[in-house]
Every structure is written in structure tokens, then in C-alpha cells.
Structure 1
């Protein structure tokens, strides 16, 4: 009897952690999996404002929405593929700029100098401010007539002869990249600074004794040691940037210029401007599948190597 009681107690001890997290797992499953399943079902229907009240009874068109979205020769598919490539370019530029700025700032404040704490707090201001406040502020900077940028480039320095439009035309894309990178780089700074603080000082001392320059120390010591954090930071920023909606929406409105239309904005337009929720859901599912595939490839390619570093 004593042995059976001991085994039962051990079994209950092993099951207790799972029992404690079970409510949270169930809640997370309902919160996340429920909308995903509803979105997949909606993508198979022709759901519009005419049948939104009874969305479960919307006409089922099966794969028609996906065919329209994936056909590059069609009017919808052509725009989707063009927007997809633009979103990829936007993501690469924003992540690269944010990482570079974050790394430079982290490397700067990781050294000892007077006022370092003040710089750390100052660098976090863009990340702490609400996004819509940040974007509205930048919209005033990019204003053609009264904006600070044109005032600097035209009135103060004379670099340009005419006031360019920054929020329409081809310049709109670059304005959006600047705003998104400025808002995101403090996150990279915060994470990379934490990683730099954990690099052993003995490695740099050994590098100095071996005659390594600052660049060689950074390339051969810093980057390999912080590679795990780097990989996670880049992945998170990439997912955030690819799904960016707030910046173009606040900067340009519900329908941004063509050069600044990202996938999230295109999905919003089809779903809540044109009220073609079925097509918008199909695009959303395609984006989900793409990001899942890229994330799995990225994790399998980069994260396992971090354990060997």
C-alpha cells in the first residue's frame, strides 16, 4: 500500500503542472484558434455587406477567392502580387534600418561615459509614445507647405529648389519606411543592449591582446555571442513590419497611395471599404500561410545554429 500511495503521489505531482496551465491553454486556444477558423471559413464564401448579418449562411464559393488572389494576370491577383513585393521590400528596409540604428545605439551606451542613463531613456522615447501620436507628428514633418523637412531642405539650406510632395507619389513609400523604422528601432536597441551586457569582457580583453581592431571585435566576438538574440529580434521585427497597418493608415488614411499600399492596407480595403470580406479573408489566410512558412524556415535555419555558437 505504501508503494502504491507513493506512485500515486508521484503521478499527481507530474500531472499538477499540466493541470495548472490547462485553463490558460484552453483560453488561448479559443481566443486564437477561433478567429483563425472563422477567417478560413469566411475565405471560402462570398461574404459581403448584403449577408453580413447571417455570415454563416453566406454563399460558399470554395476556392474562387484564392484563385482571384493568386492569379497574377487578373486585376485582383496582379495588385496582390505587386503589393506583396512592395511589402517584402518595406519589411527588409525597415528591419535593416531599425537593426542598424538599434545596434549603433546599444553599442554606444554599452560603454562607460557620463550621462549614459539619460541617453538610454531618450532612445526609448519613440517606442514609448503611442503609435498614432508618433505618426501624426511625422505627418506634420512631411507636410509639403508647412512641414519641417521642406523648411529645412528648401528654406534653410537650399538643397532643393522646389518643395516636393512627401506623402503622395513615389516619395510616400520612403516616408512610410522612415516613420516605421523610427518607431521600431528602440525595440532593437533595448533587446540588443541587454544582449551586449551579457557578452563577457574577457573576450574583448583577449581580442585586444591579439591585436583585433574594434571592427574585428564586433564581427568576431560581439555578433557570434549575441547571435541568438539577434535572430529572435530580426524575426519579431520582420513579422511586425510585414503586418504593418497603423503607420500607413494614420499617415495616409484608409486608402493610401499606390506606392505606399501594403498587404494589411489592401486587405482592409477589400474587407471594409469594398465590403468583400470573403476575398479579404482569403488574402489574410494567404499571408498567414506565408508568414508561418517563413517563420518555420527561419527558426530551423538560424536558431539551431545559435546553440553551437
Structure 2
């Protein structure tokens, strides 16, 4: 029987509805396009980020855009009811703000200088105390866990509760600070005013450092965990002392951590509103009149929302410029160190 006849015979003997053809294997089947699957995998991260982006738009970006729009309008207690139809003021609010010969500009400049001095001192002390405490607790000894917990208490306490406690401690007649400095130690000649006058700057600085240094301590302590102990052991065998180990090993190894830490502390401190507001109230003393409180007074006390919005816009530009310059300088320093 010929092959053709054999195939016809098998086809005739096959049950009805069945095919005698060999089923296609995986190699014979046409491959489906994988593009939709790749699109789903590529779009999944954006889908997960979408809720955070929406919240960011609602909480930060939309109010920011509205504040910038308000800075170009003449907004007072008479026009704030419907600010969208308030008279257009152009750049007049910005001109009044940067005119340092006029009372508005002069007051803003004084507040800006006070804020700069306060920020430099607060950030420097927070970093110094936090770094010293983290290095001190790097070695294992009895009671280290308890000290770590105690050091983090100021950072864990609610800001309002902590600052209100300090406000009571700084009271002139029955405050703990005057009791210790004058009655117990005899350092001061009499009970000092800490919440008014020039001493208000010192009081604000103490509270800010007390609240901020535990954060620096926490970040530095985490960064120290990534430094190999073998480096310290080798340096000790070579005769390096403690200070040489800190200067040659610890600080260079912590440079990336310190770059981020200093930037975060700077932004937090420069924009701090809760601490001076709770400590002094709506009207801070001139020596402790931070720019955040000054903008609040210009907006909600004198009812000049257009000028206050212009001050906020200028503050945003200043912080963006400082942040960009800081990142540029630190990135260049890191590249030169790597080379």
C-alpha cells in the first residue's frame, strides 16, 4: 500500500469529530506579544506612587500655587472674603518687601538676620552634640541601652508639650531655670527675664537644640553602624589615638550622612514655627522674631495677606537657592573625594 493510501485509510478509520493531525507543541505555537505584560510591570511603580502624588498635590503644591497667586493681589481684611476677585497688585507687594529703607522691608531684614543666626547656631550645636553622643555610645558598655532611650526622649515627645514645659521652666518668678541659676548656683545676680528681651534668643536656642539634637544623634548613630570595626582596630595598632581615629576614619566615613543631615536640619530650623509660637505667643520679642513668626504677624495680625504671601514666596525662593547651591557644592566635593 502506498503512503498516500495508508494516510487515507487512517483518516477513514478515525472517529468523527477528531483530527489525526499532530497537536502543535510549544515551539510550533505562535508566541504572544509580551508588550502588554511589560507595560503592566512598568506602570506598576507609577500606580503605587499615584496616591502619594495626589496627596502631595492637595497638601503642598495646590496651596503653594494659591499662595504665589495671592502675592500678586491686594489682599487686606476688606478683600480677603473673595480673594480670587481681589484687585491685582502686580509686583507692588514684592517691592514693598525688599525695600529695606521702608519699615516693612527693614523689619523683614532684621527678622531674616535673626533667623540666619539662630539657624546656624542651632544646626551647629545639634550636629555637634548629636555626633559626640553617637560616638560616645558606639562602644558597648553597661547601661548603653538606657542612655540611648533617654537621649531620644526629647525627639519622641510632642512638640507642643515639650515647648510648653520649657515655657513654664523659663518663668521669671517660679521657673526652674531661675531657681537653679540664681537660688542654687548663684550664677546670676537676680531672676532673669527669659521670654522677653535679649534673653529670649537664648531661650529659643536652648529649646530648639534640646528638641533637635536627638534627631542628629539618631542619624549619626545609624551611620556609625556601617563603618567596619577593623578600620579602628588597624588604626589602633598603628598607634592612632581616639581623636585621630575620629578625624581620619569616623568623620570622612560619615560625610554622606552629614550632608543629608545638615540639609534637613537647616530646612527644619529655618522654617520652624511651632517652637517660637508656643514659647512666645503671637508676638515674639524682637531678639527672637524668626521669619516664620514675622510672616504670620504680617498676614494674620496686620491683615496684609498680600505682603505676607510675597514674603513667603521670597522665602521659598531663598530656600530653593540655598538647597540647590548646597547640593551642587557637596556633589562636587564628593566627586573630588572619589577621584
Measured in 2, the distance between the counterparts of 1:66 and 1:2 equals 68
Q: Is 1:47–1:277's contact at 8 Å kept on the other side of the alignment?
A: yes
1:80 correspondence with 2:134: no
1:295 correspondence with 2:323: yes
1:135 equivalent among 160, 163, 170 = 163
Worse overlay, 28-37 or 285-294: 28-37
Aligned to 2:75: 47
1:157 correspondence with 2:150: no
SS of the aligned residue for 1:53 comes to helix
CA RMSD of aligned residues (A): 1.7
Q: Which runs of 5+ in 1 are unaligned?
A: none
1:265 correspondence with 2:293: yes
| Cα drift, residue 206 of structure 1 | 1.7
Residues paired across the two proteins, number: 309
Aligned to 1:254: 282
Aligned to 1:222: 250
Aligned to 2:214: 186
Measured in 1, the distance between the counterparts of 2:318 and 2:302 equals 24
1:206 correspondence with 2:234: yes
Aligned to 1:111: 139
1:244 correspondence with 2:260: no
Q: Is 1:97–1:181's contact at 8 Å kept on the other side of the alignment?
A: yes
Worse overlay, 4-13 or 166-175: 4-13
Q: How does 1:12-91 map to 2 (within 5 A)?
A: 12-91=40-119
Worse overlay, 148-157 or 42-51: 148-157
Q: Is 1:68–1:77's contact at 8 Å kept on the other side of the alignment?
A: yes
| Cα drift, residue 174 of structure 1 | 1.0
CA deviations over 1:252-298 (Å, ceiling 9, x no partner): 11001111100000000011111111111100010000001111111
Measured in 1, the distance between the counterparts of 2:159 and 2:50 equals 35
Larger gyration radius, structure 1 or structure 2: 2
CA deviations over 1:69-112 (Å, ceiling 9, x no partner): 11111100011111111100000000011111111111121111
Sort the Cα spacing of 1:8 and 1:154 in 2 relative to 1 into closer, same or farther, 3 A: closer
Q: Is 1:127–1:187's contact at 8 Å kept on the other side of the alignment?
A: yes
SS of the aligned residue for 1:50 comes to coil
Q: Which runs of 5+ in 2 are unaligned?
A: 1-28
Measured in 1, the distance between the counterparts of 2:60 and 2:137 equals 39
| Cα drift, residue 303 of structure 1 | 4.1
Q: Is 1:169–1:257's contact at 8 Å kept on the other side of the alignment?
A: yes
| Cα drift, residue 3 of structure 1 | 5.8
Aligned to 2:26: none
Q: Is 1:231–1:303's contact at 8 Å kept on the other side of the alignment?
A: no
Q: Is 1:228–1:303's contact at 8 Å kept on the other side of the alignment?
A: no
1:145 correspondence with 2:173: yes
Measured in 1, the distance between the counterparts of 2:106 and 2:209 equals 28
Measured in 1, the distance between the counterparts of 2:272 and 2:227 equals 33
Q: Is 1:94–1:180's contact at 8 Å kept on the other side of the alignment?
A: yes
Sort the Cα spacing of 1:199 and 1:84 in 2 relative to 1 into closer, same or farther, 3 A: same
Measured in 2, the distance between the counterparts of 1:21 and 1:249 equals 35
1:285 equivalent among 278, 291, 313 = 313
TM-score after normalising by structure 1 = 0.95
Worse overlay, 168-177 or 4-13: 4-13
TM-score after normalising by structure 2 = 0.87
